[in-house]
Amino acid sequence: MDRIRIVGGAPLNGVIPISGAKNAALPLMIASLLTRETLTLENVPHLADVALLKRILGNHGVDCMVQGKRAGQNGTTGETIELSARDIVDTTAPYELVSKMRASFWVVGPLIARMGEARVSLPGGCAIGTRPVDLFIMALRDLGADIDIDGGYVVARAPKGLRGAHIRFPKVTVGATHVAMMAASLARGETVIENAAREPEVIDLASCLLAMGAKIAGAGTSTIQIEGVDALSGVRHKVMADRIEAGTYACAVAMTGGEVFLEGATPSILQKPLEVLGEVGAEVTATNEGIRVKRNGSGLSPIEVSTAPFPGFPTDLQAQLMALVCRADGTSRIRETIFENRFMHVQELARLGADIQLDGQMATVSGVAKLKGAEVMATDLRASVSLVIAGLAAEGETVVNRVYHLDRGFERIEQKLGACGATIERISA
Ligand code: EPU
């Protein structure tokens, strides 16, 4: 397994290009199952999760071409991929594939809507929490699907097609909002989704579906209305910039000091994190082309933050913020409200010298004057990158094990940080 070696202490200076968003690319790729025509996606990031989803879609019969070449070839810019689900050959998504990436469960929505049947493995638990699928099942039942759980699979049937419905989510869920929106686009009649997720990735999916001929209003608000259509067409769509990648590098610059321009980042969808970084002590400037983040000399201030659905502080930046305030002058309190077990980075940050107390969903971080490099390991994507951030500011050498977690969601991280002056390298196994 690859490892990342970092020698901390250097400030970051330069430009970091922000890639396409993983959490937008995945549902957009899944939307290709809704149409017989070709869906062309631009700015798709080179990530392990994208590669895995290509395999999963291939299993259903989706033909995936990368800029005229077959999938799987690498480059340094975002890919343009053509997904063509002309004939769906298999409506089963097997355990071996779905258990590797939870978002692949989302194929259940397009498959049941277009084919009238879907058999999709339950994803199982994951490192950050139990993550049940009850709200997906609720929404699909509301849309008229018959659903059984059989042998670890969700078996959904709607031989006469789905029908529009009133869906009210008891809690905000990004994935079930994506799935309900995709399924309702091909249902008969009108659907209203209440308490929908307002995440920018939901808007990106909705705008692609709109271009494909869906009738959707209200994406980005808590009430989404969808008028079902008979068929959707192919279209060309550019994946939005990754707000979590941008927020992560912003935390890194706030940590090391220096000045970095996050090229292509969208400030309007990062308001809360940028406000928090300002409170911690970074200077943040929004421009039309990206976000400039700077910290020169000043110390870091402690903060109090709770994660929340958009537009609140994202759970996907919680670990990175925690790494940052490990070196604040005072005590910070960070509450995780989305996932029940998203604190695996705490023990590893402690190996670098951080002082963090956990009490249920609340982490109390007492700032320390310095962190010291060590060998660390993480069990999920955002936790791993928090260790990279801490390593960039720690004295001496930090080695992050299990880099495959990072490769799921951060494209060329060692090159992007290395180009800004960090001493960081991948040690290949
Ligand atoms: N939930 C249920 N029942 C359901 C569905 C969700 O109880 O049927 C709960 C979850 O267990 C969680 C809460 O609802 O406690 C919110 O989960 P949500 O469904 O919003 O999460 P998700 O769709 O599985 C996406 C992102 C996550 C991100 C969350 C929250 C993708 C591929 N994943 O997950 O991203 O943390 O929304 O914003 O879009 C990551 O990129 O590292 C990541 C984990």
Which range among 63-72, 120-129, 250-259, 327-336 shows the weakest confidence by mean pLDDT?
63-72
Q: How many CA atoms lie within 13 A of 390 on its CB side?
A: 41
Spatial contact of 242 and 262, defined as CB atoms under 8 Å apart: no
In this prediction the pTM is 0.97
Q: Residue 316: what pLDDT?
A: 98
Q: Residue 1: what pLDDT?
A: 84
Q: Residue 125: what pLDDT?
A: 62
Per-residue model confidence as pLDDT tens digits over 64-78? 999 765 555 555 578
Closest to 178 in 3D by CA, of 128, 99, 108, 228: 108
Distance 316 CA to ligand 1 centre (A): 10
Q: Residue 67: what pLDDT?
A: 79
User: What is the mean pLDDT of the segment spanning 181-193?
Assistant: 98
User: What is the mean pLDDT of the segment spanning 407-428?
Assistant: 96
Instruction: Look at ligand 1, atom 24, and give the residue with the nearest C-alpha.
Output: 175
Using a pLDDT cut of 70, give the percent of the chain over it: 97
DSSP 398-422: EEEE-THHHHTT-TTHHHHHHTTT-
Say which residue the tokens 């700032």 belong to. Answer: 367
Q: What number does the ligand 1 atom closest to the CA of 129 have? A: 11
- Pairing verdict, β 92-93 and 117-121: parallel
Per-residue model confidence as pLDDT tens digits over 79-102? 999 999 999 999 999 999 999 999
**Cα–Cα distance for residue pair 277/258, rounded to 1 Å:** 14
User: What is the mean pLDDT of the segment spanning 211-221?
Assistant: 98
Q: Residue 379: what pLDDT?
A: 81
Q: Residue 307: what pLDDT?
A: 98
Distance 167 CA to ligand 1 centre (A): 18
Residue 116 has pLDDT above 80, yes or no: yes
User: What is the mean pLDDT of the segment spanning 103-126?
Assistant: 93
Q: Residue 429: what pLDDT?
A: 83
User: What is the mean pLDDT of the segment spanning 1-10?
Assistant: 95
Q: Which residues line ligand 1 (CB under 6 A)?
A: 23, 26, 102-103, 129, 131-136, 171, 173-176, 315-316, 338-339, 381-382, 409
Q: How confident is the model at residue 369 (pLDDT cuts 50, 70, 90)?
A: very high
Using a pLDDT cut of 90, give the percent of the chain over it: 91
User: What is the mean pLDDT of the segment spanning 13-36?
Assistant: 98
Indicate the top mutation candidate among 22, 23, 318, 405 to test ligand 1's pocket, ranked by most ligand atoms within 8 A of CB: 23
Spatial contact of 20 and 45, defined as CB atoms under 8 Å apart: yes
Q: How far apart are the first and last CA of the chain?
A: 5
Q: What number does the ligand 1 atom closest to the CA of 49 have? A: 32
User: What is the mean pLDDT of the segment spanning 164-170?
Assistant: 98
Residue 126 has pLDDT above 80, yes or no: no
Residue 205 has pLDDT above 70, yes or no: yes
Distant-in-sequence, close-in-space partners of 386: CB < 8 Å, separation ≥ 6: 319, 320, 322, 323, 345, 349, 378
Per-residue model confidence as pLDDT tens digits over 225-267? 999 999 999 999 999 999 999 999 999 999 999 999 999 999 9
Q: How confident is the model at residue 340 (pLDDT cuts 50, 70, 90)?
A: confident
Q: Residue 70: what pLDDT?
A: 55
Q: Residue 10: what pLDDT?
A: 97
**Cα–Cα distance for residue pair 75/15, rounded to 1 Å:** 19
Indicate the top mutation candidate among 53, 100, 120, 131 to test ligand 1's pocket, ranked by most ligand atoms within 8 A of CB: 131
**Cα–Cα distance for residue pair 332/363, rounded to 1 Å:** 8
